Structure 1
Amino acid sequence: MTASQEESPPFPRERQSVTTEGGEDVKLYFLALLVQALIERELPLAMKRENLDELALYPEQRQCARPTTEQIMRLFSLAQRHRLIEGAHTVQVFDVPLTELQRQLLRLLGVPEDAFRPPDYR
């Protein structure tokens, strides 16, 4: 056993978070990069499985053969939910329906459409 192994236990007693100087949590950044990598790996595999050469992800519904996470996120940035509130209570929730392209992407990525609905409406 080396001196450094003797000094630091294999399992820290308290959970510590690695942060940068600005205080951003490196774990959160790592998770975002992991999600990005998974999207950019899984979508082309699913497109190949479904015999899709391109998706209409560019503006004006132009075709895209190699979708990026940025394009996918831009498409879902338009998803909206409105709540009618009276006092402190939600009276009704209005979801803007997903487009056919959004539904197709969710199917390709294996994400259920229920992920975009409020918990009490599932």
Structure 2
Amino acid sequence: MRGEILAELRKDKGLTQKEVAEIIGVSPATISNYEIGIIYPSVENLIKLAELFDVNCDFLLERTRYRFSWDYITQGIQIDDQIITFDKIFSLFSSLNNKNRIIAMNLIESLLISQKTIKKKK
């Protein structure tokens, strides 16, 4: 686990090292040591950190680039008045031919760029 990942997640959530330490039951120095790579969390603390930051343990361990927790994946996302599961999204995407998958990915990437631009202007 690279400590930079933990530090980035903590900052994204607006938490201090002290707050994270209190939540998972360790000292602030321990969180600092995790973040600079001097020590690594125990399995128990790794799970607590994953739950706190709503990511999966494999993401913290850099075994995957997908940060979503299992709960997040199975819950799905709300779009207006309905819940769309990731299984449904994956199924729809898998049903597309290769040309349309590329078009869909380009569209999603364009929307994300547009969304980031709008956020920066606010």
TM-score by length of 2: 0.27
Bigger Rg, which one: 1
Q: Which structure features the higher share of helix residues?
A: 2
Q: Which structure features the higher share of strand residues?
A: 1
